[in-house]
Amino acid sequence: MSAPNFNYENRCIVISDDDYDCGNLPVMMDYNCSHRYSQWLIPSGLHAHNIIVTAGYYYGACIDYVPDAEDFLARNIYMEEGEEAEAVMDIMDYFPGADAGYLMARVMEITNAEDLNERDEAIASLASYIEKIEEPMVNLALDDIRDSYGYTEVWRIAVFSNGEAIYEQV
Question: pLDDT tens for residues 42-84?
Answer: 999 999 999 999 988 888 999 999 999 999 999 999 999 999 9
Residue 35 scores a pLDDT above 70: no
Whether 49 contacts 66, CB under 8 Å: yes
Residue ranges of the domains in the chain?
12-68+136-169, 70-134
Coil/strand/helix, residue 84: helix
Average pLDDT, the chain: 93
Confidence (pTM): 0.90
**pLDDT at residue 3 is higher than 90:** no
3-class DSSP state of 118: helix
77/52 Cα distance (integer angstroms): 24
Task: Choose among 57, 55, 9: nearest CA to 31.
Answer: 55
User: Do residues 11 and 154 make contact, with C-beta atoms less than 8 angstroms apart?
Assistant: no
Using the predicted structure, report yes or no on whether residue 117 has a pLDDT greater than 80: yes
